[in-house]
Chain A
């Protein structure tokens, strides 16, 4: 049953991809070759891959470094820095990109995109790594120290390996995110596939060209997934089941204390300061206009409702898949999980348009309803949810369910009294992440929202498109504030916000 529902979930997530394949195939081989074998495609591919590599590397350095400082050292004002380090998740990349462009003259191109994307997405590495660092068994590090290895060697040979799954998972998310990002690269005019696809769709009405470019992007995604799979060692599951848990110790920073603080401050100022400064300036202009607030409130309500629907559907689809990959690790579940990742890297534009087509031709009752957009969200954000569900499932080892069943409870009762209570916190954190990401989603929302329904993100986009920066500011601010709530929950769950005594 688990397998069946997993297959169904993956099939639903793959609807846009299948449409992409069907449509591309319809174009015919000659046409495809014509579009594909050009210097432009090669340049786009090189640019996109380089951007993904640079941003992932940057995020790994920033994410692992900050996570270590936050969780394992006696950093001053730790909780403040923890909040500052997580907050970038609440800032959509297009808002950050816009803030930088409107603050720094001539801010555009590859390195501009790399900077904005790195500063916006390093929490994707930081959060899982911080959680892994907080949960890693300190005994292994102590053994390494007692065997004569110094602090640095212990860190590289033991600690880094303990948290390796978290690093790989976070890095994968970042790489996939860069491949699919549309807002920031469009605003800073970096030449990547997503921007080229959007331009082809939106300006050139060149459907075939856009489809072929999307196909190449899917191929790049497969490449990233394969690369991650190749580095993941077999059996790299570091579950612990013993009853007593000891929180890991904290290293004294000593003289490195203030340089560490300065480094974290610099990151925080670049990631948040610029955006905050720019938004505050525009906001002051924006709120003074009459009639703004009722419009903003309506858009906020729409955003909440659409994101809730999207989160619900995503979690529903992610549950069987996540449980399957945690409980029955094997080739089949790994393949299903990976297939689920595929549509995540498709640009929201492609997901959006493919579902418009799907709605008109296949599921007309869904067309122009919330649920088609929810389906788009599910296709886009399934991997976030699956990762969370798989991690949470590991909290409820099968032996607990066996005991529960031997005590006379049927499978449903066991699910309700043992499995869900143990996994819900983790699943809840995943849901928060999905919700937050839905709120920030722009291109698919633009295409699939029911007629007349405007969300914070689309209002922001509409205003920005006509250079009404002051009009866009209230939406941007509200979006950032709303997005902060799930970000806060998420950060609290990883334990990096907790005080010294944690249990």
Chain B
């Protein structure tokens, strides 16, 4: 229900800058995923926002109120920012009801907020249980209910689903998202799981080495990644080398790659080496090969039910993976097929080696 602004946050440990100037705005009532590999500083960012760490420079602003800055440091208990740690961390000596009611005033507790929060996460009627009598997924739900109960300005979820198995994770993710929406809560979800970020969040901030390298909606981050690194981190990516030629004036321009001609939107101007991004779901495989298709040989087929990942070797030796929706039969290794790229790709200039 509140808006969070981070302006140039710096946090140093000795000479290492864990956060090196982080700017991020989380609009009211939305969930922003901070996505990055381990060690990128995302957990440090969370702890700074919660108030467990002091920042060395910058400002943390909640609803126009500076809670951390060069002169201010509001202690965690006065920030109305609640964390949901990785393992849930329920108070083992308190019942579910008392856990959820922990952050509430007596009046709020009497008004039935505990039951309300429990039903938000689908655990109505579980109030009298003790944490150790519940499964890992249920414990995590209680932790979310406990965080939602006092209607905080901001909820911080620190990889809250990572300890759960895949099936449970998807379900819980979905339920937590709807619980947050139902309560119009503002949240930050820290994760290294791109699938989790894409499916759960309204906004994604991709973090690398202490800075946010891209910030946008899941679709825009997936479709228009800022660079090749983001492209491979958010989703599966096929990166192909190509050359920019003076003749490329059209938009989209057509580049020739190992996968044949690829239409590229927003081509960088000028000459030189390029990296072209194609997503696996853009690659079409035809067997027998279609007339204009590039010839390739099947080297592997991972069947996933709803789709299959088919790996082929191109003539120049490059291995490319294609995602085939609703496959009929597995493709035998060694089959000669044709490959084509559908839709448009993206291209970036290859950085000069001097860099």
List chain A positions with a Cβ less than 8 A from chain B.
Answer: 241-245, 397, 399-400, 402-411, 414, 417-418, 421-422, 503
Q: B80-88, B112-120, B213-221: which one contacts chain A?
A: B80-88
> What is the bound-complex CA distance between A241 and B92, given in angstroms?
11
Name the CB-closest residue of B to A410.
B77
- B50 at interface, CB cutoff 8 A: yes
Question: Given the complex, which residues of B lie within 8 Å of A414, measured CB to CB?
Answer: 77
Interchain CB contact under 8 A, A402 and B92? no
Question: Given the complex, which residues of A lie within 8 Å of B51, measured CB to CB?
Answer: 405-406
> What is the bound-complex CA distance between A405 and B85, given in angstroms?
13
3 A-B pairs with least C-beta separation = A407-B103, A405-B76, A406-B83
Interchain CB contact under 8 A, A405 and B75? yes
List chain B positions with a Cβ less than 8 A from chain A.
Answer: 50-52, 75-83, 85, 87-93, 102-103, 131-132, 134, 136, 139, 143, 146-147, 150, 156
The residue that B50 contacts in the complex, of A397, A402, A417, with Cβ under 8 A, is A402
Instruction: Tell me, rounded to whole Å, the shortest Cβ–Cβ distance linking A389 to chain B.
Output: 17
Interchain CB contact under 8 A, B82 and A407? yes
Interchain CB contact under 8 A, A402 and B77? no
Interchain CB contact under 8 A, B89 and A408? no
**Known contacts A243-B132, A243-B139; A406/B81 CB under 8 A:** yes
The residue that B150 contacts in the complex, of A241, A403, A407, A411, with Cβ under 8 A, is A407
Instruction: Tell me, rounded to whole Å, the shortest Cβ–Cβ distance linking A244 to chain B.
Output: 7
Instruction: Tell me, rounded to whole Å, the shortest Cβ–Cβ distance linking B123 to chain A.
Output: 15
Interchain CB contact under 8 A, B79 and A422? no
The residue that B103 contacts in the complex, of A400, A408, A422, with Cβ under 8 A, is A408
Interchain CB contact under 8 A, A402 and B91? no
Residue with the highest number of chain B CB atoms closer than 10 Å, among A243, A244, A245, A409: A243
Question: Given the complex, which residues of A lie within 8 Å of B136, measured CB to CB?
Answer: 243-244
Name the CB-closest residue of A to B93.
A421
> What is the bound-complex CA distance between A433 and B78, given in angstroms?
40
Instruction: Tell me, rounded to whole Å, the shortest Cβ–Cβ distance linking A501 to chain B.
Output: 14
Interchain CB contact under 8 A, B76 and A418? no
> What is the bound-complex CA distance between A297 and B349, given in angstroms?
93
Name the CB-closest residue of B to A407.
B103
Question: Given the complex, which residues of B lie within 8 Å of A422, measured CB to CB?
Answer: 91-93
Name the CB-closest residue of A to B92.
A422
| 19 A-B pairs in the complex with CB atoms less than 8 angstroms apart | A243-B131, A243-B132, A243-B136, A243-B139, A244-B132, A244-B136, A399-B85, A399-B89, A400-B91, A402-B50, A402-B76, A405-B75, A406-B83, A407-B82, A410-B75, A411-B77, A417-B102, A422-B91, A422-B93
Name the CB-closest residue of B to A409.
B77
Instruction: Tell me, rounded to whole Å, the shortest Cβ–Cβ distance linking A97 to chain B.
Output: 43
The residue that A241 contacts in the complex, of B50, B75, B82, B87, with Cβ under 8 A, is B87
Name the CB-closest residue of A to B102.
A407
Interchain CB contact under 8 A, A403 and B77? no
Name the CB-closest residue of A to B50.
A406
Question: Given the complex, which residues of A lie within 8 Å of B156, measured CB to CB?
Answer: 406
Question: Given the complex, which residues of A lie within 8 Å of B91, measured CB to CB?
Answer: 400, 403-404, 418, 422
Interchain CB contact under 8 A, B76 and A406? yes
Question: Given the complex, which residues of A lie within 8 Å of B132, measured CB to CB?
Answer: 243-245, 503
Interchain CB contact under 8 A, A406 and B77? yes
Interchain CB contact under 8 A, A409 and B103? yes
**Known contacts A242-B87, A408-B77; A402/B102 CB under 8 A:** no
Interchain CB contact under 8 A, A404 and B102? yes
> What is the bound-complex CA distance between A426 and B113, given in angstroms?
34
Name the CB-closest residue of A to B163.
A242
Interchain CB contact under 8 A, A400 and B102? no
> What is the bound-complex CA distance between A402 and B86, given in angstroms?
13
Name the CB-closest residue of A to B82.
A406
